[in-house]
Amino acid sequence: MTQRTYKSTTSVKPAVLQLLPLAAALVSILFVSNAYSQTVDEIFRNFKNAFDKSENLSANFEETTLISNRKSVARGRFIFGKPNLLRKEYVDQKETSKVVQTTVLDGTYAWTYTPILNQVNKVKWNKSGRKELIPGTGASLEDVQANYNVVLVPDEFANPKGIHQIELTPKDHMVSTNVKEKMLIWVKSGDWLPVQFGYESELEDGTRRSAIVALTDVQRNIEIAPDFFKFVVPKDAEVIDLSEN
């Protein structure tokens, strides 16, 4: 992954976990601009303040994944509600009105429905342990600076547009394997909402995996129906219950 993976958007307003899935975070090095120098602490504080004021976040996304030089691209939309609610829909590449997979996190279970198979996977949502620093993480932002090394990465292309790239690597007490991990988040000055997330990992055998999730039409505090994050099993769908595993 390089610093040039940032994808500009025409509208910036916001899975996993496979969820979001939401998934990824935030940047002690100084970022220096011609007019004003901001530290990673200042940028993170601005981001967190904006997050704290958000009861929910929504966005369209484009998810690019690279595993051992095999690239895949998926698109869709998500809505995240605090503290740990999520609805994420992947759409057909050519027919964007057609949903090919839906994941719902209701606070207790994670449900994934694949229409073409008419199949639902149900798993228990484990609130304990490590969480990804992406929408869907809830209060985990509270412990970022205690659990991660947070660094601001200068970017000659993104910085002039008011975009700040933040890199997070787990501190020693967060590492239980030899897997190397890194999370990235790009936030925009002004509303301080995220415009892109990134994740990189390297396994012990040298296998590398990276993902970039670019966001557009980012909004917060939109009106949501009370039962929006409630999953209803489609008629005649096969349910594979993994919640006891």
For the segment 219-231, what is each residue's pLDDT rounded down to a tens digit?
999 999 989 999 9
The answer to whether residue 196 is domain-embedded is yes
Lowest mean pLDDT among 80-94, 117-131, 155-169: 117-131
For residue 216, pLDDT over 70 is answered with yes
pLDDT at 91: 97
Range of the domain at 57: 11-241
- The answer for residues whose C-beta is within 8 angstroms of residue 192's C-beta and 6 or more apart is 46, 47, 49, 50
| CA 175/CA 30 separation, integer angstroms | 26
- The pLDDT assigned to 4 comes to 47
Give the whole-angstrom CA distance, residue 109 versus residue 73: 26
Residue 1 lies in a domain: no
Task: Determine, yes or no, domain membership for 4.
Answer: no
pLDDT of res. 137: 39
Global pTM value: 0.74
CATH number at residue 134: 2.50.20.10
Mean pLDDT lowest among 88-92, 124-128, 204-208: 124-128
Domains of the chain: total: 1
Helical H segments across the chain, by residue range = 40-52, 144-147
pLDDT exceeding 70 applies to what percent of the chain?
78
136 touches 86 (CB < 8 A): yes
The Cα 57–Cα 146 span in angstroms is 25
Q: What is the pLDDT of residue 104?
A: 94
Mean pLDDT across the chain, nearest whole number? 79
pLDDT higher than threshold 60 for residue 128 = no
Per-residue pLDDT, 117: 96
Strands 194-202 and 208-220: antiparallel
107 domain-assigned: yes
Residue 5 lies in a domain: no
Residue 169 lies in a domain: yes
> Tokens representing 65?
């994944």
What average pLDDT does this structure show over 23-28?
32
**What confidence tier does 136 reach under pLDDT thresholds 50, 70, 90?**
very low
Residue 6 within any structural domain of the chain: no
| pLDDT of the residue at 76 | 96
pLDDT at res. 140: 57
Does position 97 have pLDDT exceeding 80, yes or no?
Answer: yes
Tokens of 128: 């304990």
Q: What is the pLDDT of residue 189?
A: 93
Residue 3: inside a domain, yes or no? no
The amino acid sitting at 200 is E
pLDDT of residue 142: 63
Q: Which of 161, 148, 211 is nearest to 187 (CA)?
A: 161
Average pLDDT value for residue range 66-70: 88
